[in-house]
């Protein structure tokens, strides 16, 4: 069975602070995909990034960066210089080799950025 753990239920930061959202996963598959989604107050989940298990290169997109480490089964997400618009619930997800029917979501981390 696969599992995604987001241990941080809620985080509050002051605007312009950096914040890291943790994601730890478990899977027996050798090929898998990891995702991060953002759910703003409007409700729809917005895709942020997909990473396959063979690509451990870290990625940066503007103020967002992702640190994938297979050795610790972690796929952490950092927001640099946070803004109020970053306030949302963030979900980490894992898709195993069984395809989309084997996508497992974490329980989400609610981020509040205080002005």
Interface residues toward another protein, by CB under 8 A: 4, 9, 33, 35, 37, 42-47, 50, 52, 91, 93, 95, 99-101, 103, 105-108
Question: DSSP 3-state assignment of 98?
Answer: coil
Which CB atom, from 57 or from 101, has the smaller least distance to another protein?
Answer: 101
- The CB-of-36 to another protein minimum distance in angstroms stands at 10
Element (H, E) at 42: none
Q: Which of 10, 90, 101 is nearest to 47 (CA)?
A: 90
- The CB-of-110 to another protein minimum distance in angstroms stands at 10
Measured distance CA(12)–CA(87) in Å, rounded? 9
Which CB atom, from 13 or from 45, has the smaller least distance to another protein?
Answer: 45
- The CB-of-30 to another protein minimum distance in angstroms stands at 14
Residue with tokens 């451990």: 56
């Amino acid at each position: 069975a696969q599992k995604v753990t987001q241990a941080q239920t809620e985080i509050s930061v002051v605007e312009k602070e950096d914040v890291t959202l943790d994601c730890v996963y478990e899977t027996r598959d050798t090929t898998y995909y990891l995702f991060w989604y953002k759910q703003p107050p409007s409700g729809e989940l917005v895709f942020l990034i997909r990473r396959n298990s063979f690509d451990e290169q870290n990625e940066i997109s503007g103020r967002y960066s992702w640190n994938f480490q297979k050795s610790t089964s972690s796929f952490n997400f950092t927001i640099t210089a946070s803004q109020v618009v970053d306030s949302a619930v963030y979900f980490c997800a894992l898709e195993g080799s069984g395809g989309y029917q084997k996508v497992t979501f974490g329980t989400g981390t609610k981020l509040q950025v205080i002005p």
